[in-house]
Amino acid sequence: MFKKLFSQTIIAIVMTFAAVNANATLITQDIIVNDGVFTLGTVTIEVNDADLGNGLLSVFEFVDLTLLGVPVFDVFAFEAVIDGDDVFAGIEFLFFDVQERGFDFWNYQLLLDAANPVNSLDIFDNNGNVIFFSDDLSFGQPTVVPEPAAIALILMGLISLRLRRKA
């Protein structure tokens, strides 16, 4: 009796958790400059699971973008493209034009296409002077994190199987 009640409670909790969260996948990748001399920063995007399996997908907002240790930006343009058929390949194309918030802000313009050797990174000071330029850019290894609700559903299934086996 207690096992059945416990199992039903777990199912209710997991279903509530799954209903509250949108099904999505987070992809995080480093932006590497000058053949690994330094990492410019990290970008994290969110992709709806419903869009997966539909070829190339454009994402126009980021979850997190940190460049040279600065995480807060005014965004003028942002686009990331992934292959929805293979999210574990990571970001294939990235473009952004962002500006640091603060007293002595910098502006960053980046165009990085994994399939094209013509890439560019421009960093300007607040007077429009070029501080840094590079055309030697690459992506680091992607980290793909599935929706937490999916993991909870899998755990719930394993717990249910375990309880049934003992019964």
Domain assignments of the chain as residue spans, ordered by start: 1-21+148-167, 24-146
Residue ranges of the chain whose pLDDT lies below 50: 19-21
Closest CA to 54 of 21, 23, 87: 87
Interatomic CA distance for residues 150 and 13, integer angstroms: 13
Return the amino acid letter for 50.
A
CA angle 73-146-79, nearest 5°? 35
**Which neighbouring-strand residues pair with 82?**
57, 91
Residue 39: predicted pLDDT: 93
**pLDDT of amino acid 32:** 94
The overall pTM is greater than 0.75:
no
- To which H or E segment does residue 144 belong? strand 143-145
Q: Using alpha carbons only, give the angle 118, 55, 82 rounded to the nearest 5 degrees.
A: 45
- pLDDT on residue 145: 82
What pLDDT score was predicted for residue 19? Answer: 47
- What is the predicted pLDDT for the residue at 15? 56
Q: What is the pLDDT of residue 52?
A: 83
